[in-house]
A and B are shown apart, each in its own frame.
Chain A
Amino acid sequence: MFRVELTKAWRRWRTYLVAVALGGIPVLIVLAVKLSPPTGAESQEAPPFLVQIVRNGLFAPLTGLAVIQPFFLPLAAGLFAGDAIAGEAQSGTLRYLLVRPVTRTRLVLAKYVAAMTLLGLLLLWVVGCGAFWGGVVFGFHPLPTLSGTTLSVVEASLRILAAAGYILLGVSGIVAIGVFVSTLTDSGPGATVATVILGIASEILDQIPNLRVIHPYLPTHGWLAFTDLFRFPVDWGAMRGGVIVSGAYTAVFLVAALAVFRRKDVVS
């Protein structure tokens, strides 16, 4: 079932549209920085790492990751996860999968793993596009860390991949929430929008100081901790917290999705 999911995504325009849109972001950044290098004043408001791209192409994939994470990543997660069951229900194919038979448990798990795989491939694609254009335009140089030391190009590349990996783990909770929402409705776009809203709402709540008490429990709270990979020594504390929170959301919402879907009357 998992392989079938990937085949379907592979033959779908939508997948390429998302890939082009997200892959285009680091490319746009590189071009923008090349054509009009940011001045000192502007760099205060710029996304993380942007200003440094001029000196080192390795910052392009990092900037790409940092730029897509807050908005485009929840969007893609909503698209793949929210649509997972609800989209099949809407098109009517759900009933044909279930009588094939694909067991309900297997369908939910396959949809989750497929959504995570697609997001992982998208993140790699963004890193790849950023690295390629950043390298071509600005070249690769050893990367300065936030602590003032430097990382070799190879070491820095590995850290960037690790950052992508951490970002993927970070979004896993939102993906599980999306799959859960997807079992509740027969409207693919509805479940997608609901998931995106939940993800962005979590990020907004995370910005409100008065709600500091709940911040550590928000699914998106640990997202920016990937920057800690570029310290010396690496500070694992925040990332560990992020992984634990994402893992908890994944477990709770996958169990909830299974509980709902295994007892659901499929009337779509």
Chain B
Amino acid sequence: MTALVTKGLTKRYGDVNVVDGLDLSVDRGELYGFLGPNGAGKTTTIRMALGLIFPSGGEVELLGTPVFGGGRDDALRRTGAMIEEPAFYRFLSGRRNLEVFARAGGDGEDVRRRLARIDEVLEQVGLSTAGDKRVKAYSQGMRQRLGIALALLGEPEMLVLDEPTNGLDPAGMREIRMLLRRLADGGTTVFVSSHLLAEVEAMCDRVGVLSRGRLVAEGPPGNLGGAAERLRIEVDDSPRAAAILRGIAGAEPSAPQGRTLRVRLDGATAAQVNAALVAAGVAVSALVPERESLEDVFMSLVEDAGVQG
């Protein structure tokens, strides 16, 4: 079962394809991170998925329903969303804002269900005490929390959140990440866009990297782009160690920096490296596996795409 599918989704503004033949498939119950630098087309994709802007080409399906072609209202009712920054009626309190959005455009039962959940969602995002203050008086972090509360109000099967931790302090970010993780573990599909690598790395099941409107990589955050294993080695004689390692198949040492040497493993193992060095009489004081960070992968992917584009 898929929660969000795009096929060849394209949005053209003038001569530029802001979203360019995008194929996405997000499974139900998954926490999917939609990663990309500013201007990559994340928000445009989200707006098309929610029916706010019309695609120039391709298709998009939300909770099994085509978004363009009638019948999307039910899918939207089962979806909670925050698109770019949250927006509210500044002259109303946080609670009244949730009431207004609950009452707008729903049938009787749907409205009652949402109204009954207001206290619960305010509590969930940590706004119980500030609910009766006017939004005018909210800090950016509080508005962000209220935006997430609004997205949660309909007890959605699908959450679409555009940069949800914007404007939160580190503790608040962590809190929201844990909330999203809990929701996904409880069966809610969560689609989060972000330009913060650490954020998606910390919580997502799967990450798609968007650059210039195209998906340039997709997979679990651990092995995006087939990230290779790397070793950091500290030795007494690094030039000699580098020479020895060049003789081992499947190990690529980088130029030594002082006593430190980095080796990219492509077939060879850490034990082989260690044995070869010790056998040659090099004193190894440290041998630490290093995963290539998502940031490195991300930057190289985005730069590659940039060169091609």
Residue numbers of A with Cβ under 8 A of B are 1, 3-4, 7-8, 11-13, 91-93, 95-103, 106-107, 263, 265-267
Contacts and interface: CB of A to CB of B under 8 A. Distances in A.
Contacts of B83: 95-96, 99
B96 interface: yes
Given A8-B100, A95-B83, A263-B54, A103 B105 contact: yes
Interface stretch (B71-79, B242-250, B270-278): B71-79
Tell me the interface secondary structure of chain B in the complex: loop
A12 B88 CA distance: 14
B101 interface: yes
Contact of A4 (B87, B90, B104): B104
Interface string B48-63: 0011111000000000
A97 to B, nearest CB: 6
B54 A265 contact: yes
B89 A93 contact: yes
B51 A98 contact: yes
Nearest to B81: A99
A267 B53 CA distance: 7
B220 interface: no
A7 B101 CA distance: 12
A100 B91 contact: no
22 contacts: A4-B103, A8-B100, A11-B92, A91-B88, A92-B85, A95-B52, A95-B83, A96-B81, A96-B87, A96-B150, A97-B104, A97-B105, A98-B50, A99-B79, A100-B106, A101-B77, A102-B104, A102-B105, A107-B105, A266-B47, A267-B47, A267-B52
Given A7-B100, A95-B52, A100-B104, 18 more contacts: A4-B100, A4-B103, A8-B100, A11-B96, A13-B91, A91-B90, A93-B88, A95-B50, A95-B87, A96-B87, A99-B52, A100-B77, A100-B101, A100-B105, A101-B51, A101-B105, A102-B104, A265-B52
A227 to B, nearest CB: 39
A4 B96 CA distance: 11
B125 to A, nearest CB: 16
Contacts of A4: 100, 103-104
A107 B79 CA distance: 19
Given A11-B92, A92-B85, A103 B73 contact: yes
Nearest to A92: B87
Contacts of A92: 84-87
Q: Interface centre among B72, B90, B100, B105, by most A CB within 10 Å?
A: B105
B102 to A, nearest CB: 9
Interface of B: 47, 50-54, 72-73, 76-77, 79, 81, 83-92, 96, 100-101, 103-106, 150
A101 B51 CA distance: 10
Contacts of A96: 81, 83, 87, 101, 150
B92 A8 contact: yes
A108 to B, nearest CB: 13
A196 to B, nearest CB: 22
Nearest first, the 8 A-B pairs at minimum CB distance are: A92-B87, A102-B105, A265-B53, A101-B76, A266-B52, A100-B105, A99-B50, A4-B104
Nearest to B43: A267
B115 to A, nearest CB: 12
A60 B44 CA distance: 56
B87 to A, nearest CB: 3
B56 to A, nearest CB: 10
B87 A91 contact: yes
A121 B33 CA distance: 50
B87 A1 contact: no
Given A95-B52, A265-B53, A3 B87 contact: no
Nearest to B49: A99
A91 B103 contact: no
Q: Which of A101, A102, A263 has the most CB of B within 10 A?
A: A101
Contacts of A107: 105
Contacts of A7: 100, 103
B100 A101 contact: no
B124 to A, nearest CB: 18
A3 B92 CA distance: 16
Contacts of B100: 4, 7-8
A101 B92 contact: no
A185 to B, nearest CB: 17
B66 to A, nearest CB: 15
A190 to B, nearest CB: 18
Nearest to A267: B53
Contact of B89 (A8, A13, A101): A8
A102 to B, nearest CB: 3
A91 to B, nearest CB: 6
B77 A266 contact: no
Contacts of B105: 1, 97, 100-103, 106-107
